[in-house]
Amino acid sequence: MVPMILNVKLCPTEGDLLEDVSAYRRLNGGLFYLTIFFPDITYVVHKLSQYVSKPRKPHLDIVHHLLKYLKAFPGQGLLFSISFSLKIQTFSDADWGSFLNIRRSITGFCIFLGDSWISWRDKKQITVSRSSAEAEYKALASTASEVMWLHQLLIDLKVSPITLALLFCDN
C-alpha cells in the first residue's frame, strides 16, 4: 500500500463538489500535523491542500485512502540509524506535467547522511518543461544545489571527514 493511489491526476474541476467543506479542511489540517512524524505522506498532503477552497469527491477519496494507509502502517516514520557515516546520498525524481491545469512538473528529492534521512522536498518547477528529460534535468539541478549547500554547511560546522556526495536519478 502506498500513501496515494497510483496514477491519479487530481484536477480542480473533476468530480462533485463536497457539501461539507469544513470536514475536508479539518482532515487536511490534521494530516499536516502528521507530516512532522510521517514525512512519507508530505507530498500527498501538500497536493490535497491545493484543493481546500473547493474540494471535490476525488480529493476526499484520496484523503480516505491516506487515512487507511496510516492505519495500516502505524510504525512507519523516520529511522535514525545507530551506525554513523558521513556519506551523503541523494535520490532525485521529477513528475513531468503532473499538474493538468498548468502543466508544470514536480521536483522531488531526499537526502541521506549515512543511513539517516535528513532532508527532502517536493516542489512545483518554476517553468513548464517541454519533455520529461528536461523536467528530470531541472530536478537534478535543484537537487545538486541543495546537496552543495548541505556539503558547505557540514564544512562550516567542521564535520569531517566529508566524502563525495552521490546523486541518483531514475533515468
In CATH, what number is assigned to the domain containing residue 99?
A: 3.30.420.10
Which parts of the chain fold into alpha helices (H)? 21-34, 42-49, 57-72, 132-156
* Mean pLDDT calculated for residue range 74-89: 73
d(CA 97, CA 165): 29
- Tell which residue, 116, 127, 43, 49, has the closest CA to residue 80: 116
Which phi and psi angles does 167 have, rounded to 5°?
Answer: -120, 120
Q: What is the pLDDT of residue 99?
A: 62
Q: What are the tens digits of pLDDT across the range 101-112?
A: 667 788 888 888
Residue 62 backbone dihedrals phi, psi, to 5 degrees: -65, -40
Same domain, 94 and 163: yes
Q: Is the pLDDT of residue 1 over 70?
A: no
Residue 90: predicted pLDDT = 92
Q: Is residue 118 domain-shared with residue 152, that is, in the same domain?
A: yes
Residues 114 and 66 in one domain: no
Q: Which of 77, 104, 133 is the last residue of a domain?
A: 77
Q: Are 49 and 104 contained in the same domain?
A: no
Range of the domain at 31: 1-77
Query: If we measure between CA atoms, which residue out of 165, 150, 28, 34 comes closest to residue 91?
Result: 165
Q: Residues 9-23: pLDDT tens digits?
A: 777 778 888 888 888
Could you tell me what percent of the chain has a pLDDT over 70?
87
pTM of the entire structure? 0.60
Is residue 99 domain-resident?
Answer: yes
